[in-house]
Amino acid sequence: MATLRYIGKRKRSRPSERLNGLPANDSTILRPAGGVLHCLPMTIRRALITGITGQDGSYLADLLLEKDYEVHGMVRRSSTENFERIAHLTHRVTLHQADLLDQLSIVDLLKKVRPQEIYNLAAQSFVPTSWVQPVLTGEFTALGVTRMLDAIRLVDPEVRFYQASSSEMFGKVLETPQTEKTPFYPRSPYGVAKAYGHFITVNYRESYNLFAASGILFNHESPRRGKEFVTRKISHAVAQIKLGLAKELRLGNLDAERDWGYAGDYVRAMWMMLQQPKADDFVIATGESHSVRQFCEIAFSHVGLDWRKHVAVDETFLRPAEVEKLRGDSSKARRVLGWKPEASFDALVRMMVDADLKRCAHS
């Protein structure tokens, strides 16, 4: 294989001609050692995803690859690799070790990859764990955002940055439905950490003129959701019970209501936010809310079972402070981004149960 050597670049275009910090029609000229000139189009966009091994990271990587991005993922070191969600695309993405807790590792990573877009999805994302490890949750989920923003400021202030903010910031809601203007009242250390992450993103946008967007996403689920979250806990249990592998499902608050959407639809919104002329904040939600009980009803009845015969309430799953009901108003995203969700609530529940049935039957 020929070794390519960088020999020059066309004149830098004016900012108005630039796309995501890249000249719209520029090309980097590379010459194979002693060979013919090749022009590689510089319109190939390079994105870095933190949290690429998570639910959203894996769907976002799928989407960006479809759009011909060069995709890089940040993964933290662990004694065993946990690449299940990205197993189908590890040959198409480049993974780099770094950690949200380690400033230098983030700076080095940005210098090495030089992405035009960064999607900051890494976080301690399970709400109950945030009461058990509140300080660590703050380190990852709150200060991790500042570490990333400072690295951007240092390495390349033209980077477009997406912060994964959350409807958990609304907590004990002050109005319904919740919009970008609804004040926050978080109810868990996780929600508090996300509120910090949101405001530091807004602050760096205003202080340093960074392109830093905050997506306030309501719950979004999929067959790739972690099994500790209630939707996947239910779909997995339904599959197990249907196949005779389990008898009972123990849950906490059945009355809690969430505005549940499909993760595949929500990562589309993340990408759209970074293609705008200016960075902003957007609520991403379906506008419908359903209870945990309703989720159970649909999931069990999809396989011909009566949920009341299998679900037991277990107080150990109740939270010290609960978010009772969330419902988002995503009018701004629909108007400005042209985004709308495609999957209905019923279709989402059925998709998750079907996927778990298939997985459990195979294993």
Q: In sequence order, which residues have a C-beta less than 8 Å from that of residue 119 and are 6 or more positions away?
A: 47, 48, 49, 50, 57, 60, 162, 164, 270, 274
105, 125, 168, 204: the catalytic one is 168
Rounded Cα distance between 280 and 273, Å, is 8
Question: Could you tell which of ligand NAP, ligand F7E, none binds residue 121, using a CB distance below 5 to 8 A set by kind?
Answer: ligand NAP
The answer to whether 270 contacts ligand NAP (rule: CB under 6 A) is: no
| φ, ψ (nearest 5 deg) of residue 287 | 90, 0
The answer to whether 281 contacts ligand NAP (rule: CB under 6 A) is: no
Nearest approach in angstroms of CB 233 to ligand NAP is 14
Nearest approach in angstroms of CB 269 to ligand NAP is 11
Pinpoint the alpha helices (H) of 225-262: 230-242
- Which tokens is 49 given? 């995803």
Mark whether 165 is an active-site residue: no
The answer to whether 123 contacts ligand NAP (rule: CB under 6 A) is: yes
Nearest approach in angstroms of CB 30 to ligand NAP is 32
Candidates 310, 319, 332, 350; binder of ligand F7E (CB under 6 A) is 319
The one-character DSSP state at 180 is T
Taking the least distance from each CB to ligand F7E, the nearer of 76 and 319 is 319
- Which tokens is 88 given? 């189908």
The answer to whether 82 contacts ligand NAP (rule: CB under 6 A) is: yes
Mark whether 180 is an active-site residue: no
- Which tokens is 199 given? 């405001």
Question: Could you tell which of ligand NAP, ligand F7E, none binds residue 100, using a CB distance below 5 to 8 A set by kind?
Answer: ligand NAP
Q: Using alpha carbons, list the distances in angstroms from residue 244 to 79, 240, 241, 362.
A: 34, 6, 5, 14
The answer to whether 167 contacts ligand F7E (rule: CB under 6 A) is: yes
Pinpoint the alpha helices (H) of the chain: 55-66, 103-113, 127-132, 134-137, 144-155, 189-208, 230-242, 263-273, 292-302, 331-332, 345-362
Stretch that binds ligand F7E, among 176-184, 266-274, 302-310, 318-326 (CB under 6 A): 318-326
Give the number of residues in contact with ligand NAP, rule: CB under 6 A: 25
Rounded Cα distance between 219 and 327, Å, is 10
Of 166, 309, 334, 189, nearest to 241 by C-alpha is 309
List the Cα angle 102/108/109 in 5-degree steps: 90
Nearest residue to ligand NAP, by Cβ distance, number only:
54
Candidates 47, 93, 107, 122; binder of ligand NAP (CB under 6 A) is 122
Mark whether 324 is an active-site residue: no
User: Which positions from 225 to 244 touch ligand F7E by CB under 6 A, shown as an x/- string?
Assistant: ---xxxx-x-----------
Nearest approach in angstroms of CB 146 to ligand NAP is 14
H helix and E strand count, the chain: 11, 18
59, 119, 162, 190: the catalytic one is 190
Active site residues: 166, 168, 190
List residues near ligand F7E by CB under 6 A: 125, 127, 166-168, 218-219, 228-231, 233, 251-253, 256, 258, 292, 317, 319, 322-323
List residues near ligand NAP by CB under 6 A: 50-51, 53-57, 76, 78, 82, 99-101, 121-125, 140, 164, 166, 217, 219-220, 226
